[in-house]
Structure 1
Amino acid sequence: MAEFQTVPCTPEITGVLLDCSTDSALLGWAYAEEAVSYTATAQSGDEQTATCNTNLTNCQLLELACGQTYTVTLRASDGQCDSFQSTSVKVSSVPCPPQAVVSQVNCLANSARVEWEASSGVDSYTVQAMSMEGDVAGCKTDGNVCSISDLICGSTYNISVNAISNECNVSESAIIQMQTVPCVPEQLEANMDCDSGSVSVSWEPSNGATSYTAVAQGNGGYASSCNSSDTSCQFPELLCGLSYSITVQASDDVCNSADSSAVQLNTLLCEPQNVSAQMECGSNAGLVSWEQGELVSSYLVRAVSPDGHRTQCDSNTTSCRLPSMHCGQQYNLTVTAQDGSCDNSNAYLTLQSVPCNPSNVQASLQCLSNSAAVTWERASGAVLYQAVGTTDGGHQAMCNNSQTHCDLSGLQCGQTYNVTVVSKDNTCSSVDSDTAHVRTAPCPSQDVAVDVQCAAGSMMVTWSANPNAESFHVMAVTSGSTDLSCDSRGHPIRTGCSIENLPCGHLYSVTVTSIRGGCKSKVSGAVAASSAPCVPQNAKGSLDCISNSVWVSWDASTGAQTYTVLANGGGGVNSTCTTSSTACNVPDLACGTQYTFHVTAVNTHCQSSPSNTFQIET
């Protein structure tokens, strides 16, 4: 009987154990009859193969390709024949490490988006981010994108992605580095230089920052910014009189941090606008006004004059009064806006104070023109002067001049004028000067009357009393002869005087002039008066026997208006005739009677002495 050896029995795989750390699989099986060795084969879908040979009931499949699912079979051998292939088992290798890992910072959220290429044999991924300071953050996902939140600002993170399967979690990617958003700047301080008005801001260094941007946001939308790689910067040309909110943002090459906490700062106040000044003429105070400025708590006005006087006022409104300003000074005014911080925003202007009142005022009467010459000394600040003379009765005369003199004309006679002078500029008048007094010429004499003393050859001239006169001068003016006069003076003064030795036959125009202090009044109204007519000369007569009358003739007498012829027959027998010519017929003479004839000249005021006599008998 022949004997032969049958093929070994087919082995049965009892287990496969994956070793994640070595990328190998430990295969185990039960002993197969007649087997002296075994060969295990692992075949992947993309033709990756691993084998192991052993005379034991286990062996290790080494250098399995990552991310593969292997089909593992086993054959037993007796040295001549191999058994049938065992029933296959499946084993998955270690997942492949993720490749092409990239990260992108979300600057606003301070998170990171991590992305990679998908790996084979992976069930899920974990992302780990570790900062240089030891902070750890991460995320998990079934896909190939994951977001890491709550990162520490200003840090450098080492980021890796680990591919995980059911058996292994050792497939870690290469490490990449990522810089998080710079930290928000802290401890901001803003300062203003009151002299220049420039504003600077400083802060503590921020982790991760390579540069900084400071922004000053003003109310009304006005904004300014400055950049720095240091921890301070200065704003150029911020607008005056605004409240700015200042923030700082830290930056690197990728991100900007969030804005820092804001600090508030008021810029240098604007210069006061629309500033004007004018004098309150009556009070000698200056009223200064302006427009209300933003952020201003109060205003200070200072005034300095050329004579060294200083005065000031302050206000929290839009005007104030500068008291007790010296007259005649051009003050330099400084209007300062104040906020209690920087008080050097100034506006400048000038103000001319009220002119000084003139001094050493003098007034003298100019007799011929009945005006008063007024003089004074020049007053500071005056561009024009006005002199006013006022009587107690209210009559006024005034004159103006830019020089230091003028004449008051049109003065009333017999008055005392109180004279004052004021200085003027384009706005104000000074107070009145000290008062000077001037007394005008007396008024013309009134109620002039003339009483001719015919027999004495004189005239008595009288007039009403004139208290403003110290003396009177009477003139009797005639033609063809010497003018006559008389004066009245002394204490008490008389209101009449007599002109003696009047020559016969003259018509006089009589006036009276009042005199005081060397000044004469206008002459009074003229009064006509006549001296006695001259005595008729060469009187003679002739008898008319038929009518028993006598024709009498004579030479004309100076000053005569009419003539009267008287025939005196004695015993009361008389006869007369009157005529304005130089001959007259005396009628109704008694017969046989001897008459004595004479002629008398007559005018309005007087009659002359009788002419020479002659006798005729009828």
Structure 2
Amino acid sequence: MAPNVTYTVQVEAVNERETSEEGAVTQRTALPGTARVTVDNVAQNSFLVSWLPVPGASSYRVNASLYERLVFTIQTTAHEVLVNSLASGTVYNVTVQSINHISIGSPTTIQQFTGLDVPSNLRVLSLGSDNMVISWLPVNGAAYYSISYSKDVLDTCCMTNLTIYENRVLLSELLPNQLYVVQITASNQFSTSRRAMLRQVTALPQPPNLRVVNGSLTQNSVFLSWDELPDVRTYIISELNDTRRRSFNTSRHTIKLQSLYPRRTYRIQVIGYSIHHISGDPSIVEFTTLIEPPENLRVETANNNNQVNVKWNPVVGATLYLVTCNPSEGVIGTGELLQRNVILSGLQFRVLYNVSVAAMVGTKSGMKSYVS
């Protein structure tokens, strides 16, 4: 039978002797299914459903369901309806049926994906001078993400493009202390979200050529120096091996560290802090302070007029003592010694001699004590 057509059905009872009077019933068939159901204006939480008018229909019922659970229903006389209050990035079954006072037409069902949300909560998890790791909240329904980034401005000819399948990305081979513009979109086979954008300046590079200034190392102090970086607001100097982790700030590219302990190895980190309030990559230098100088260095007269007895208190940990004399011509007894006293001979009358003694650990000598 054809849909939406009135039929009359006649029925007679018959046997071998007679035929009954006719009985008749009139019935109109149901409406046909709705034709050309289409979807437009797809957004993250809504879409517009439209269809062709069905002859004989007085209204239409539109249902949207998710996993057989009805989430939207409406009855309308129009030929389109906005299905809203939906979840983003989700497939819905949409059913349209025509209705009149006699019947409800057969359903026409389509599947429709709502639009994807814009990636949100973009964060820089780690930042270096040549790389950064960016994360964002997962987008419901996204199959992959497209990443585009460029330096300074949105210059499409200079953009780098990536496709990834998780909600974080490592951007590498960047330039230090540069502004990068990063764009992220979520996509699946049906749609692509609007762009999320992040602007981030990379960190400063390591302070180059971090070093101990020649001749500055003592038993309790040292001068450190490094080559200057551009666009530095301040340098942060940290003592890594101290449990209290002492830190110092300076705007110069040199610093004197004091109140150090003798014969201790120190690891010092220097980081540049840029005018963009971003910490840079660290440089680290390691050094060992010198052994302390002998105390109570003194000179006592000896039995011979051209001799003196030089004495000092022992230094804990010293393996040798280095004794020098100025002037040294003709003086006997200087050099590296095991004992903590020495007789210097060969001295001249009416000559002022300056004697120094330094403790040694292995082949490395510490600070000197002087006596005249």
TM exceeding 0.5: yes
Residue 403 (str. 1) matches residue 274 (str. 2): no
Q: Tell me the equivalent position of 2:115.
A: 268
Residue 137 (str. 1) matches residue 23 (str. 2): no
Task: State the AA in 2 paired with 1:315.
Answer: I
RMSD: 5.6
**Structure 1 residues 255, 249: closer, same or farther in 2, change over 3 A?**
farther
Hey, what's the Cα distance between the residues in 1 that align with 2:266 and 2:348?
A: 36
Hey, what's the Cα distance between the residues in 2 that align with 1:146 and 1:383?
A: 101
Q: Tell me the equivalent position of 2:236.
A: 385
Residue identity (%): 15
Hey, what's the Cα distance between the residues in 1 that align with 2:153 and 2:321?
A: 57
Q: Tell me the equivalent position of 1:341.
A: 190
Hey, what's the Cα distance between the residues in 1 that align with 2:176 and 2:103?
A: 66
Q: How does 1:98-497 map to 2 (within 5 A)?
A: 137-140=8-11, 147-149=25-27, 151-152=28-29, 182-193=31-42, 198-219=46-67, 221=69, 223-225=71-73, 229-252=77-100, 254-255=101-102, 257-272=104-119, 277-279=124-126, 284-286=131-133, 288=135, 290-291=137-138, 293-303=139-149, 306=152, 313-328=162-177, 333-345=182-194, 353-359=202-208, 361=210, 363-364=212-213, 365=216, 370-374=221-225, 377-378=228-229, 385-386=236-237, 400-405=247-252, 406-409=255-258, 421-423=270-272, 430-432=281-283, 444=293, 456=305, 459=308, 466=322, 486-488=326-328
Residues 112-145 of structure 1, C-alpha deviations (whole Å, 9 max, x = no match) = xxxxxxxxxxxxxxxxxxx6xxx75344589999
1:523 is paired with a residue whose SS is strand
**Structure 1 residues 346, 499: closer, same or farther in 2, change over 3 A?**
farther
Hey, what's the Cα distance between the residues in 2 that align with 1:290 and 1:488?
A: 77
Task: State the AA in 1 paired with 2:91.
Answer: S
Residues 267-300 of structure 1, C-alpha deviations (whole Å, 9 max, x = no match) = 1123446765412879944153644x44322123
Q: Residue 401 of structure 1: CA displacement?
A: 2.6
Structure 2: gaps of 5 or more residues: 13-19, 313-319, 336-343, 359-365
1:342 is paired with a residue whose SS is coil
Hey, what's the Cα distance between the residues in 1 that align with 2:264 and 2:217?
A: 14
Aligned residue pairs, count:
325
**Structure 1 residues 268, 416: closer, same or farther in 2, change over 3 A?**
closer
Residues 314-360 of structure 1, C-alpha deviations (whole Å, 9 max, x = no match) = 33345443333444567555442211332115555676755521246
Residue 247 of structure 1 contacts residue 259 of structure 1 at CA under 8 Å; is this kept in 2?
A: no
Q: Residue 207 of structure 1: CA displacement?
A: 0.8
TM-score (normalizing by structure 1): 0.40
Q: Tell me the equivalent position of 1:107.
A: none
Aligned partner of 1:500 among 340, 349, 355: 349
Aligned partner of 1:523 among 359, 362, 369: 369
Q: Residue 367 of structure 1: CA displacement?
A: 7.5
Residue 452 of structure 1 contacts residue 459 of structure 1 at CA under 8 Å; is this kept in 2?
A: yes
TM-score (normalizing by structure 2): 0.60
Hey, what's the Cα distance between the residues in 2 that align with 1:371 and 1:385?
A: 17
Could you say which structure has the larger radius of gyration?
A: 1
1:377 is paired with a residue whose SS is coil
